[in-house]
């Protein structure tokens, strides 16, 4: 579904991504784990064209979308749930979902709308008229995810969805993410939370200094003390 090959991205003269390659398939959650500052956000920003890669290719369903403007990439079916959630705090839950609903893509296996997003997150339905700024952190994360879903994506990029949330909420989010993949979505899950990645993803990549330094199944990574110590501070 999503194929990233040898991606290089710079901020000014700082070389941040050093040839990152990965593939996310339909019905799969692929996690990228790494400590602060290794380039995880730069990776998702490069995929969705918020940052301009200096080299490498990005393909969606076999079509080269490298260098396309962000709005076109979203229209073609890639949605980002940004780090820190970034909901419109002064707008209601429903208003937060109405804005992206107007610029949807067409033709995914499952067609999302505001009601089906509420079905995925019933808590949001109950709070539909509340200001987003008054929601708890977990509810704001659900809203950020629901907002991505109503654009009807084929590929969902999640940038540290578990950040700052209680373990119980993290487990709930993990279950929803797995469910989305089972329904056909390709999910790229960026995390620092080892347990979240472990329980959610079918495959895990470990990132360090702008490079993928390890690729394996979650079980294999769980047993690899050297990689965990060296790159994840565990
Ligand atoms: N807009 C920017 N301009 C310059 N440097 C940046 C910018 N954003 C991030 N960086 C730097 O790029 C590196 C990777 O950052 P980032 O992708 O945010 O890492 P992560 O998401 O893994 O914490 C860091 O050293 C960070 O300081
Ligand atoms: Mg980040």
Q: Show the 3-state SS of 127-158.
A: CCCCEHHHCCHHHHHHHHHHHHHCCCCCEEEE
What is the model's pLDDT at position 184? 92
Tell me the pLDDT tens digit for each residue of 162-216: 999 999 999 999 999 999 999 999 999 999 999 999 999 999 999 999 999 999 9
Give domain status of residue 134, yes or no. Answer: no
| CB of 11 closer than 6 angstroms to any ligand 1 atom | yes
| CB of 14 closer than 6 angstroms to any ligand 1 atom | yes
Give domain status of residue 166, yes or no. Answer: yes
Give domain status of residue 55, yes or no. Answer: yes
Give domain status of residue 188, yes or no. Answer: yes
Mutate to test the pocket of ligand 1, among 8, 9, 11, 81 (most ligand atoms within 8 A of CB): 11
Domain count for the chain, please give it. 1
CA–CA gap between residue 63 and residue 73 (Å, rounded): 11
| CB of 42 closer than 6 angstroms to any ligand 1 atom | yes
pLDDT band at 68 (very low <50, low <70, confident <90, very high): very high
| CB of 40 closer than 6 angstroms to any ligand 1 atom | yes
> What's the pTM?
0.95
Side by side, the strands of the sheet bearing 14-24 are: 14-24, 2-11, 53-60, 63-64
Ligand 1, atom 9, lies closest to the CA of 42
Give domain status of residue 115, yes or no. Answer: no
Give domain status of residue 48, yes or no. Answer: yes
Residues 6 or more apart whose Cβ sits within 8 Å of residue 126: none
Q: Which domain holds residue 186?
A: 2-85+148-232
Q: Which long-range contacts (CB under 8 A, 24 or more apart) does 45-50 make?
A: 45/9, 46/7, 46/9, 46/17, 47/2, 47/4, 47/73, 47/78, 47/157, 47/188, 48/73, 48/74, 48/78, 48/80, 48/157, 49/73
Tell me the pLDDT tens digit for each residue of 129-167: 999 999 999 999 999 999 999 988 999 999 999 999 999
For 163, other C-beta atoms within 10 Å of its C-beta total: 17
What is the model's pLDDT at position 111? 80
Give domain status of residue 123, yes or no. Answer: no
The CATH code of the domain that includes 176 is 3.40.50.300
| CB of 13 closer than 6 angstroms to any ligand 1 atom | no
Give domain status of residue 67, yes or no. Answer: yes
Tell me the pLDDT tens digit for each residue of 77-128: 999 999 999 999 999 999 999 987 666 666 555 688 899 999 999 999 999 9
């Amino acid at each position: 579904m999503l194929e990233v090959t040898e991606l290089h991205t710079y901020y000014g003269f700082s070389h941040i991504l050093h040839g990152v390659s990965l593939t996310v398939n339909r019905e799969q959650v692929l996690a990228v784990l790494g400590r602060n500052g290794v380039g995880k956000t730069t990776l998702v920003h490069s995929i969705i064209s918020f940052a301009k890669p200096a080299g490498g290719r990005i393909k969606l369903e076999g079509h080269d979308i490298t260098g396309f403007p962000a709005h076109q990439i979203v229209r073609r079916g890639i949605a980002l749930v940004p780090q820190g959630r970034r909901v419109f705090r002064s707008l209601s839950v429903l208003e937060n979902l109405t804005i992206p609903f107007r610029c949807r893509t067409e033709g995914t296996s499952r067609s999302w709308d505001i009601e089906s997003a509420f079905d995925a997150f019933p808590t949001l339905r109950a709070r539909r008229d509340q200001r987003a700024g008054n929601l708890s952190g977990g509810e704001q994360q659900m809203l950020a995810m629901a907002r991505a879903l109503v654009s009807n994506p084929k590929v969902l990029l999640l940038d540290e969805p578990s950040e700052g949330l209680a373990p119980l909420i993290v487990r709930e989010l993990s279950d929803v993410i797995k469910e989305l993949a089972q329904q056909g979505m390709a999910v790229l899950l960026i995390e620092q939370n080892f347990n979240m990645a472990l329980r959610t993803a079918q495959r895990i990549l470990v990132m360090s200094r702008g490079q993928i330094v390890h690729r394996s199944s979650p079980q294999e990574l769980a047993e690899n003390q050297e990689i965990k110590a060296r790159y994840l501070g565990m």
